[in-house]
Structure 1
Amino acid sequence: MNNPLKKGLMFLSVLLIGSQISYSQETLFEFGTSTSMDAVLSKSKAKEDKLKWINVNTTKETWKVMKDGTLSNTGLPIGVIRSEKQYENFILHVEWKHMEAGGNSGVFAWSGARPVGTNPLPDGVEIQMLDLEWVDLNIRNGVKPPIAYVHGELFGVQGVKTVADNPRGDRSKSIENRVKGKGEWNTYDVVCVDGVIKLSVNGKFVNGISKSTQKKGYLCLESEGAQIFYRNLKVIELAPGVTSAEQTAALLP
């Protein structure tokens, strides 16, 4: 499907589904686990809790936990689900793969987990998950976007400010291109501590940001127009830091 037609259908789907989207903060499913660093380091077997995911502005049909534990996301409507609780300092492990050329998605850290204005996506720090062909499908006036787009960019969104380790405008780009193409699993290990994020892509740390103006909030999984799969999502909570109310997202019911 050509890109303008696909975008038109995506926009139409948002209009048609919008009136049916629940803003009731309904728990949709359990996926992934969380534990503490103390539990990991203790001699006893680490206790793991199942992560509950709450709808923000997608639908029940957007998400499906498969029999093998993999999570499927259709990509429509555009929006997010959020974690049940907020996280401050933590390590996130997640594996993901796109199934469509140019697929777009991501994870939001330290998010308020609510749409901002007319934008269906929330604030926070976005950890980008793009298929490699995105740059080929988004040529503007004969100019192809930088390849950095598709290799794990990090950036603050919707008012959250960050300082890029490897600047590309306001974004931070990876210093090495390591993302695999559609149909292949990618592994992100994300260390989030005191307003600093370091991202490992497929086994090597290649990107980071610092001085995030918001450094405690919800984790959000993004639905942004294309099917994506996730598996083996794990959160390891670390000790808290000194974080003010102004640096913390508002609590949701």
Structure 2
Amino acid sequence: MRGNALWVLAHPDQSSLSSHLRNVGIAALREKGWRVVESDLYRMRWDPLLVTDDGSADVRAEQRKLADADLVILQFPLWWYGVPAILKGWFDRVFESGFAYDVPDPETGRFLKYGRGGLIGKRALVVVTAGDRHASLGPRGISGHIDDVLWPILHGTLWYTGMQPLRPHLITEADDVDQQTVGSVERSLIDRLDHVAEEEPISYLPMEDEFYDHSIRLHDHISPGVEGNAAHQHCAV
């Protein structure tokens, strides 16, 4: 698979590690034959404020980029355990009803969601930088596992709209990366992107009667003994 990629960056500093890795990543994808377009939200001066009946040209332009993309890269620094406000506003405005969600199933009329939304089939990779040490964002880390920290994006935004989220690409201790260590960070990202088309996505469960009851709660026999976010993956079934 080599197709169209959209790289979305949310970082205010064009001289930052994030901006540098964006450049490295886009070059690596293009070298592998991907056609890449980008949305540098701060450089674009993206307006994050949602208004009613937003038919703005900037929203339509971003939706066209999304519609054309086979792969979406979302890159941002982890701020207060979440995304920068400008990226949240990009989701709010671009992932609108009728485009990314609230898309009806032509057979049943029910709205498609959790694996079957308006963006079905697109792969998504989150590239996130954090000042924390690596272990702090691991299974027993004080900050929580990165998969759980990013649950609202991975499951509640990407999977909800039908995209196939991959495991986050996490760069920790980002403030300490210097000329001596940046090479290994670059290689790690390039290696990840080399296999991004074949990598197995996170195995979230689809919202189907086989797995969930009418209150959208897991059936008792699904993921027995497992609670929390981990229960909603095939590997726990």
Scaled by the length of structure 1, what TM-score is found? 0.27
Between structures 1 and 2, the one with greater strand share: 1
Relative contact order, higher structure (CA 8 A, sep 6+): 1
Higher helix share: 2
